[in-house]
Every structure is written in C-alpha cells, then in structure tokens.
Amino acid sequence: ADIISTVEFNHTGELLATGDKGGRVVIFQREQESKNQPHRRGEYNVYSTFQSHEPEFDYLKSLEIEEKINKIRWLPQQNAAYFLLSTNDKTVKLWKVSERDKRPEGYNLKDEDGRLRDPSMITVLRVPVLRPMDLMVEATPRRVFANAHTYHINSISVNSDYETYMSADDLRINLWNFEITNQSFNIVDIKPANMEELTEVITAAEFHPHHCNTFVYSSSKGTIRLCDMRTSALCDHHAKFFEEPEDPSNRSFFSEIISSISDVKFSHSGRYIMTRDYLTVKVWDLNMENRPIETYQVHDYLRSKLCSLYENDCIFDKFECVWNGSDSVIMTGSYNNFFRMFDRNTKRDVTLEASRENSKPRAILKPRKVCVGGKRRKDEISVDSLDFSKKILHTAWHPSENIIAVAATNNLYIFQDKVN
C-alpha cells in the first residue's frame, strides 16, 4: 500500500475516496445498514480502485511530474454515476465511477467470447437481452484538464454552481468549466514580473459553499484573501484580506515558516473559514478581517523544537483541517499518529491516536496526552518520544454523521461514534 495523500467523503458520505502517492484512487462505500446485523453500523468496504495518474516526463523542462494525487474532490451526485476530480501536480482529471450489473447476451454476429461468427453460419436472428451479472464498478476518465499550470497544483475546488471548478498552483488560480478542457480562465495571478521579487505563494484555495462568485485563497505569509468574481475578470485585488498581526514575542528564524497556511476550509454554513498553520488552527469570521475569532493550539510543545524540525524537514509538513457537519467541532492531525479535535462550543479538546495497537474493532479510543515537561505521568508520552515520521496530514469528516477518516501514512483508519 502506498502513502495516502488525500482523503475525501462525497456529499452524502456514502463514499470515501483516497488518493495515494502512486497515483491510485481507492473508493470505499458504506455498507447499507441491515436489520440482521445492527452492530455492523455501515462499515466501509472497497468499492473501486483505479489508476488515476501516471508519472510523466516534461521533456521541455527536463522534469519528472509526480503521479501523486494531491487532492480529490467529489461532484454532487446528479444521476446513478459518481463523479470526482483528482489532480496531481499538473493535471486535473474528471472520473466517472459507475456500476454495471447487467450485460447484453445473445449477439448475432459474435459469440459469448467475443469472437466473430461466420455470417454464413447464422441461420437464426435473435434480439440480444440484458442479463444480470456480478456487480462491476468501473471508472472511466471523462475529462482531462491539462497544460494550464506552470507550478504545482495544491488545491481544487468545485463551485456551488456545479458547472465550474478552480485549480490553484503556487502562483495562479484557474477557473474551469467541466465541459471544456482546452481552456481555462486565469482568475488570480500573483506571479511578480520579476521572480526575484517573489515573497509569497498561494497555498490553498476554496470556493464558498453557497455563493458561486466567492472564493478564498491562503498564502505562505499567513494571510487569507477573499475574492469576488463579479468585480473583475482577474481577481488580483481582494475583496477582503484576513491577517492577524504577528506576535513579536514569538519571533524566531522560523516565524515565517510556521505562519504559512497549509489548509483553508469554509465552514458548511459559509460564515467562517478555518486555517491551519504549523502550530495552530484558527477560525475566522468572514466579517472580521483583522484577527481570527478562535485560535487552537495543536501542538505548541513543538515551538521550542522548531530548529530540529527545520533540520528534518518536518516544519514543512502540510497539515489539513476539517469541520464536522454542524461546524461545531474541528479536527486536524499531528505527529506520532495523533490527531486532535476541538469542540468550539465547550472549548474542550482531545488528542487521539490512530494506531493498530490501540484500534481493535469497536474499541473505544483512549484520549492521549503529551507531557511537556516535568514529571511524566503513566499514560503520557513525552515530547522527545514522539515519532515524527508518523504524521497525520489528511483527515476527513462525514458530512452529517460522526464518522471520521484518518490517513496515517499508508493506513486508513475509519472511526465512528460509539453505538449505544
């Protein structure tokens, strides 16, 4: 199994897609709950697996293009088939995933194996009929949106009009129509005329969940810009600019790196945005630009270790963050296969671990605690014992239920509320 690079539930939560470093997409489907087995409350099983992207070579630039799937985004379901967008560094693809449970039998000109019959041997004509067959799930690429990004694509986001979507790379954001693959509109371009003057890059972008003219993008400088596509074709000028003043007491060599935003997500309500930087998760009210309304410390005990984390490259890890269906709880990952949840109402938080030893089926996850200094209690783990190679970068929350998917390197964990 390869390292999982993205996890995403579809809009109903029936399907869960994962993309990995090898360019593969694996889709899980939730079992229908049955009266016979009430304790098996809708487990997820593999539904479809396909190779979305292959490694490519850009001959002009003499660069290899990685096949790693950076993001998957589902389209809302409009017919029996499922559609999703998957992207690597350079190319976005629209995949159709559909079921086939019948096949035609009784052709005249070919036999059941597909071999052609000799027309002179045919004496009787018949009408082919559809007969049931074992369910087969097939994935076909319906559109390929290529050659629009010079830099690495970090985000894709489906618009609420379901007709367009955007793809964002380090310096540009393009708007696509699902039907048109040979052109896209460039809506944001922050590339300076002189690359030597480059000071920030785009790190994530997302459309507003309800307003199809509005989107946000985050930067490596820790700022978020909200843009309105009605104002102009090129949205280089933001409608809103969200930035928190820097705390001068926390200045260090690495202040810039840790303020770089790795993920930005609208709340389901569309009223808030959540951003993740290296040490914190912040919730912003769209109506207040000068500071976030909530800040949660994910793993502040790492603040004194930034130099080592810089050395081993961990400081560049890009953690994602997610809202639950009601926007009351937010979740994000950390190291040592820990992930954190913050309840915005009760202000309580919990640290959980995704590991095989702790996760027997239907076992209840035990909260974990990191010991910062002084005496270490029995169940606590000290900061120096944390395994920084076990990082949870990608998590997903079911749109309406308390089911979460957590990607721990090459393992996928699915947790749900305990059944009473």
Partner 1 sequence: MEFKLEAHRIVSISLGKIYSARGQRGGLKLHKNLLVSLVLRSARQVYLSEPGCPPEPPPIAAPEEQPPPPQDQAARLPAADCREPRPRGCGCCGEATCGAAAPPTPPPCPRKRSAGERGQAGSPVKRPRREVEEEPPPGEQEDMETGNVASLISIFGSSFSGLLSKEPKARRRDPRDGGDATETTEPGQICCDEPVLRTLNPWSTAIVAF
Which residue ranges make up the site for partner 1 (CB under 8 A)?
Answer: 58, 60-66, 68, 89, 151-152, 154, 170-171, 195-201, 203, 220, 253-254, 256-257, 260, 307, 310-311, 313, 316
CB of 230 to partner 1, least distance (A): 30
Largest CA distance in the chain: 91
CB of 92 to partner 1, least distance (A): 16
Give 233's strand partners.
none
**DSSP for residue 257:** H
Nearer to partner 1, 156 or 283 (CB): 156
Nearer to partner 1, 195 or 363 (CB): 195
Contact (Cβ atoms closer than 8 angstroms) between residue 392 and residue 333: yes
How far apart are alpha carbons 335 and 95 in whole angstroms?
33
Whole-Å CA distances, 34 to 69, 166, 228: 34, 39, 46
CB of 346 to partner 1, least distance (A): 36
CB of 314 to partner 1, least distance (A): 12
Residues 6+ apart with CB under 8 A from 115: none
How far apart are alpha carbons 109 and 196 in whole angstroms?
67
Nearer to partner 1, 35 or 61 (CB): 61
CA atoms 199, 204, 208, 212: torsion sign: positive
Nearer to partner 1, 167 or 181 (CB): 167
CB of 150 to partner 1, least distance (A): 9
Beta 164-168 vs 155-158: how paired, if at all? antiparallel
CB of 43 to partner 1, least distance (A): 36
Contact (Cβ atoms closer than 8 angstroms) between residue 173 and residue 229: no
How far apart are alpha carbons 107 and 117 in whole angstroms?
10
Nearer to partner 1, 262 or 351 (CB): 262
Nearer to partner 1, 14 or 66 (CB): 66
10 Å CB burial of residue 89 (0-12, 13-18, 19+) is buried
How far apart are alpha carbons 155 and 202 in whole angstroms?
10
Q: Which of these, 65, 81, 89, lies nearest to 27 by C-alpha position?
A: 81
Nearer to partner 1, 112 or 313 (CB): 313
CB of 202 to partner 1, least distance (A): 9
Nearer to partner 1, 31 or 56 (CB): 56
Residues 6+ apart with CB under 8 A from 360: none
Tokens of 100: 């086939």
CB of 62 to partner 1, least distance (A): 4
How far apart are alpha carbons 297 and 199 in whole angstroms?
27
Nearer to partner 1, 310 or 415 (CB): 310
Nearer to partner 1, 203 or 359 (CB): 203
Position 388: which residue type? F
CB of 79 to partner 1, least distance (A): 36
Nearer to partner 1, 55 or 367 (CB): 55
Residue owning tokens 């593969």: 24
Tokens of 342: 């913050």
CB of 164 to partner 1, least distance (A): 26
CB of 152 to partner 1, least distance (A): 7
Q: Which of these, 105, 216, 83, 103, lies nearest to 155 by C-alpha position?
A: 216
